[in-house]
Chains A and B, each alone.
Chain A
Amino acid sequence: MENLDYARLQMAFTLGFHIIFACIGMVMPFFMVVSHYKYLKTRNPVYKKLTKSWLKGVAIFFVTGAVSGTALSFELGMLWPEFMKHAGPIIGMPFSLEGAAFFVEAIALGFYLYGWDKLPEKFHWFTGIIIGVSGVASGILVVSANGWMNAPSGFDYINGEFTNIDPVKAFLNPAWFTQALHMTLAAFVATSFGVAGIHAYQIYKNRNVDLHKKAFKITIIIGTVAAFLQPISGDISAKDVAERQPVKLAALEAHFETQKGAPLYIGGIVDVEKQKVTHKIAIPKALSFLAFGDFDAEVKGLNDFPKEEHPPVAIVHYAFQIMVGLGVVLMLAGLIYLVSLKKKNWEKNKYYWLLFVLMAPLGFVAIEAGWVVTEVGRQPWIIHQIMLTKDAVTPMPGMKYSFYFYLCMYSLLAVTVTWLMNRQIKALNQNPN
C-alpha cells in the first residue's frame, strides 16, 4: 500500500473513532436533562442518581470526544495539507462557528458538572440543556463542512484557482441540510439504542431493576422516535445524491448500466470485473422511484462515467446495504417497544430485554457504514469534481507508521473507556443510596 492509502486509513480510523464519541457526547446530555427534569418534578432520588451517573458518562465521553476532535483538527491539515490550504478559507465559517459552539458546550459542562448544590436549581438544569443544544449544533456545523466536500459551492474555480469566495454560500451548500439531518437523527438512534441496550442488560441480569427501567424508558422513547424519522431523512438524502452525485448513487446500488425503470437491489455480491451483482433480491423499478419519485425515471449507471472516476463500488454497495438494513432492524425494535406498551407481560420475558441488548451496537455500526458510503462513495475526489484525494495528501513519507501509532493509541483509549463505563455501571448497582 502507498502513503496515500495509509493516510486514508488513518483518517477513516480516527474519524470513525471520533464519530462514536461525538455522537454519545451529543445525545447523552439530553437523557441526562430529561432524568434531571423528572427528579426536579418528582424528587425521586433514583432520578438524581441516574442523572449523576449519566453525567459521569457524559464527562468521560466529552473529554474523549474533545481530545479526538482536537486531534482531527490538526490531522485535517497534517494529512491533507493541500486540501486545507484551499478549502480552509472557503469552509472556515462552519468551523469557526463550531469552535464557538464547542466552547459554549465546555463552559456549560463546567457549570453543570461542578454546579450541584451550588447554583440555583433551574439555572443548573438549564446549563444541561445548553450542553446538549451546543453539542448538536457542533455536529451539524461539522457535517456542513463535510457537505461542502460533496457539494462544493461558494466559489468559482478558474484555471485551478479558487476565486470569488462566498463563505456563507459554502456553508449553506446544497448538501448541508440533508446530511446534517440524517446524521443528527442517526446520532440519536444509535446512542439511544446503545444506552438502552446497556440498561436492558442490567434488567436482564436483574440488577437494580427500578433504576435501570427508568433509564431504559427515557432512552428507548427517544430512540424509537428518531428511528421512525430516519427513513424520511434517508429518502431526502437519496434524492439529493441522485441529483448531485449520480456516480455515488450508482455505486451504492452497484448499478452498472444506465436504465429506465431501474430495479432496486437488496443485498447481493458485487463482481466489479464482470459488472454483475449476484445473489440479490431485485425489486423492479424501485430504484427509479426512490431516487426520482418516478417509476420510469432514468438512473445513470457507472458505465456512463469514466472508469477513473468510479469509487470502490463493492465497498460502497455493501456499506449501504448494512446501513439501510440496520436502520430497518432498529425501526422494528422500536415497533416492538411500542407494542410492549400494550402487552405488559412482555416485560416479564427475559428475551424481551435480551433483544434490546443485542440492538445496542447496531446503530453505531450503521453510522460507520453510512460514513463509508458518503466518504468512500465520493472517491477519488476529496472535493467533488474539483480536487483529487491523491493530490491533497501530505508530502511526508512514512504515513504507515503514523497510522499504526494512531491505531494503537485509539484502541487503547477505546478499551480504557469501555472498561471505565463497566466500572461506572458496577458502582451504580453496588451503592443503592
Chain B
Amino acid sequence: MLYVVLFFLLFSLLLYVMLGGADFGAGIVELFASRKNRPHTRDIIYRVIGPVWEANHIWLIIMLVILWVAFPAYFNIMVVYLHIPLTLVLLGITIRGVAFVFRHYDAVIDQSQFWYNWLFRIGSFITPVFLGLSFGALISGKIITLEAYPDSNFYDFFIHPWLNLFGLLVGLFYAALCAFLAATLLIGESEGVARNHFSKSSAIFTITLVLLGFVLLFYGYLNDIKFVRDFIENPIAILSVVISGILLFPLWKFIRAQRRIASRNMAGIQVVLILFAAIVTHFPYFIITADKEISLLENMAPQATITNLGWMLIIGGAVILPGLFHLMKSFKMIKVLEKS
C-alpha cells in the first residue's frame, strides 16, 4: 500500500505541476502579452481553462492531505520553516482564483475589470515563484532546525532558507515552465493573430526556460548546493534533461504542422522528464537541511494509516479520474480549428 500512496503523491505532484502550472502559465502569458494581444488571450484562456481550472488546483490539496496523513514529519518541517513563503503562495492562489471568477462572473462589466485582470495576471506570476522558492528552500540545505541550532534568530530560521538567489532562480524556472506549458496549450486552441502571438510567446518562454535551467545548475554548482551537485553527477538525471531538451525539436515541428494533440503530449513528456530527473536525483531525501538529509520514508505514519489511505486513494481515484477525463474531453478539446 505504501507504493499506492507514493504513486498518488507523485501523480498528484506531477498533475499539479502540469495542470496547475498550465493554469498559472496562462496568466503569465497574459501578463507578458502586449496591450493589443490581451483581449484575445483573455477570451481564449476563459474558454480553455474555465471549466477545468478549479479541478486543476485540487491536486495541491490531495498532495497536501497525503503528506500530512502519511508523512507527518515531512509536512511538519515544511509548515514550520516555510510558513512565510507558503502564506504568500496562499495569497497568490486566493488572489488569482477569485480574480479569475470575478472577471468572468461579475454581472456588470466596467472599470473593475481592470483590477480583476491585473490581480489575475500578477497572482498567476507570483504563485509559481513562491512555490519555487519553497521547493528551493527544501532542497538547498539552508533550512536550520530549532533542535539543531537553538540559538539562531528569526531571520535565520524563517526567512533566510527561502529568500535567497537560489530559491529565486528555482521560482523563476518554475514560472517559465508554467508559461511554456500554457503557451503550447493555447496555440492549439487559437487561430490567426492569436495563434501567431502564442507561437511567439511559446518560443520566448522556451528560450527563457532553457537559459534559466542552465543558470540554475551553474549557480547551484558554483555555490556548492548539494542537490545540484548530485543532480549533475547523476547520469540518469542528466540524460533525462538532455532528452527533454532534444524533444524541443519535434515539439516545434508538431506546432508548425498544427498537430495539437501531439504537441501537447510532447510538452507533457518534457515536463515529466524534468520532474523525473529532479526526483530520481534524491529519492527519497527531498528535504536537505543544513545538518542532515531527511528521507520521506522515515517517521512515516503507522501501517494501518498507510493501508487506509491507500484504499481511500484507490476509491477516490476510481470515482474522480473518469469524471475528470470526461470533463476535459467535453470541454478542453473544443474543436475550434476543425470548425473553420
Tell me the A residues contacting B by CB distance below 8 Å: 56, 59-60, 62-64, 66-71, 73-74, 76-78, 81-82, 84-86, 88-90, 92-93, 95-97, 99-100, 102-104, 106-111, 113-115, 118-119, 163, 165-168, 394-398, 402, 405, 409, 413, 416, 420, 423-424, 426-428
Give B301-333 interface residues, CB cut-off 8 Å to A.
301-302, 304-305, 308-309, 312-313, 315-316, 319-320, 323-324, 327, 330-331
Task: Let me know if B320 and A100 touch, CB within 8 A.
Answer: yes
Task: Let me know if B98 and A67 touch, CB within 8 A.
Answer: yes
How many A-B residue pairs have C-beta atoms within 8 angstroms? Tell me: 192
Specify which chain B residues have a CB less than 8 angstroms from the CB of A395 in the assembled complex.
80, 146
Task: Let me know if B320 and A59 touch, CB within 8 A.
Answer: no
- B223 beta carbon closer than 8 Å to chain A: no
- B222 beta carbon closer than 8 Å to chain A: no
Task: Let me know if B93 and A85 touch, CB within 8 A.
Answer: no
Complex Cα distance, B73 from A388, in Å, reads: 19
Specify which chain A residues have a CB less than 8 angstroms from the CB of B102 in the assembled complex.
60, 416, 420
Specify which chain B residues have a CB less than 8 angstroms from the CB of A119 in the assembled complex.
330
Task: Let me know if A59 and B105 touch, CB within 8 A.
Answer: yes
- B76 beta carbon closer than 8 Å to chain A: yes
Tell me the B residues contacting A by CB distance below 8 Å: 50-52, 54-55, 57-58, 60-62, 64-66, 68-70, 72-73, 75-76, 78-80, 83, 86-87, 90-91, 93-94, 97-98, 100-102, 105-108, 146, 154, 157-158, 301-302, 304-305, 308-309, 312-313, 315-316, 319-320, 323-324, 327, 330-331
Task: Let me know if B313 and A96 touch, CB within 8 A.
Answer: yes
Q: Who on chain B is nearest to A91 by CB?
A: B69
Task: Let me know if A73 and B64 touch, CB within 8 A.
Answer: yes
Task: Let me know if B305 and A81 touch, CB within 8 A.
Answer: no
Taking a contact as CB atoms closer than 8 A, the residue among B105, B308, B327 that contacts A93 in the complex is B308
Task: Let me know if A110 and B304 touch, CB within 8 A.
Answer: no
Task: Let me know if B87 and A78 touch, CB within 8 A.
Answer: yes
Task: Let me know if A89 and B69 touch, CB within 8 A.
Answer: yes
Measured CB to CB, the closest approach of chain A to B69, in angstroms, equals 3
Specify which chain B residues have a CB less than 8 angstroms from the CB of A110 in the assembled complex.
51-52, 54-55, 327, 331
Complex Cα distance, B94 from A107, in Å, reads: 19
Specify which chain A residues have a CB less than 8 angstroms from the CB of B101 in the assembled complex.
59-60, 63
Measured CB to CB, the closest approach of chain B to A97, in angstroms, equals 6
Complex Cα distance, B90 from A6, in Å, reads: 19
Complex Cα distance, B84 from A78, in Å, reads: 9
Task: Let me know if B302 and A165 touch, CB within 8 A.
Answer: yes
Besides A63-B100, A167-B305, 9 other A-B contacts (C-beta < 8 A) = A60-B102, A64-B98, A71-B90, A78-B79, A96-B312, A97-B316, A103-B324, A394-B80, A423-B106
Measured CB to CB, the closest approach of chain B to A427, in angstroms, equals 3
Q: Who on chain A is nearest to B107 by CB?
A: A427
Specify which chain B residues have a CB less than 8 angstroms from the CB of A108 in the assembled complex.
323
Specify which chain A residues have a CB less than 8 angstroms from the CB of B309 in the assembled complex.
92-93, 96, 167
Contact flag A424-B107 (CB < 8 Å), given A84-B79, A96-B313? yes
Complex Cα distance, B70 from A85, in Å, reads: 10
Measured CB to CB, the closest approach of chain B to A152, in angstroms, equals 15
Contact flag A70-B98 (CB < 8 Å), given A100-B320, A402-B87? no
Complex Cα distance, B105 from A427, in Å, reads: 12
Measured CB to CB, the closest approach of chain A to B219, in angstroms, equals 28
Specify which chain B residues have a CB less than 8 angstroms from the CB of A95 in the assembled complex.
65, 68-69
Q: Who on chain B is nearest to A108 by CB?
A: B323
Q: Rank and list the top 7 A-B pairs by shortest CB-CB distance, nearest first.
A: A92-B69, A100-B316, A89-B301, A427-B107, A77-B79, A88-B68, A167-B308
Complex Cα distance, B111 from A249, in Å, reads: 53
Q: Who on chain B is nearest to A69 by CB?
A: B61
Task: Let me know if A63 and B97 touch, CB within 8 A.
Answer: yes
Q: Who on chain B is nearest to A154 by CB?
A: B304
Complex Cα distance, B70 from A166, in Å, reads: 14
Task: Let me know if A167 and B80 touch, CB within 8 A.
Answer: no
Complex Cα distance, B72 from A95, in Å, reads: 14
Task: Let me know if B54 and A106 touch, CB within 8 A.
Answer: yes
Taking a contact as CB atoms closer than 8 A, the residue among B54, B76, B304, B305 that contacts A84 in the complex is B76
Specify which chain B residues have a CB less than 8 angstroms from the CB of A114 in the assembled complex.
50-51, 331
Specify which chain A residues have a CB less than 8 angstroms from the CB of B320 in the assembled complex.
100, 103-104, 107
Complex Cα distance, B79 from A365, in Å, reads: 32
Measured CB to CB, the closest approach of chain A to B73, in angstroms, equals 7
Complex Cα distance, B107 from A59, in Å, reads: 13
Task: Let me know if A167 and B304 touch, CB within 8 A.
Answer: yes
Complex Cα distance, B155 from A390, in Å, reads: 24
Specify which chain A residues have a CB less than 8 angstroms from the CB of B83 in the assembled complex.
78, 394, 396, 402
Measured CB to CB, the closest approach of chain A to B293, in angstroms, equals 20
22 CB contacts below 8 A, A to B, read A59-B101, A60-B101, A71-B93, A73-B65, A77-B79, A81-B76, A88-B68, A89-B302, A92-B308, A96-B316, A108-B323, A110-B54, A110-B331, A111-B330, A163-B302, A165-B305, A166-B304, A167-B308, A395-B146, A409-B91, A409-B94, A416-B98
Task: Let me know if B331 and A74 touch, CB within 8 A.
Answer: no
Specify which chain B residues have a CB less than 8 angstroms from the CB of A103 in the assembled complex.
55, 58, 62, 316, 320, 324
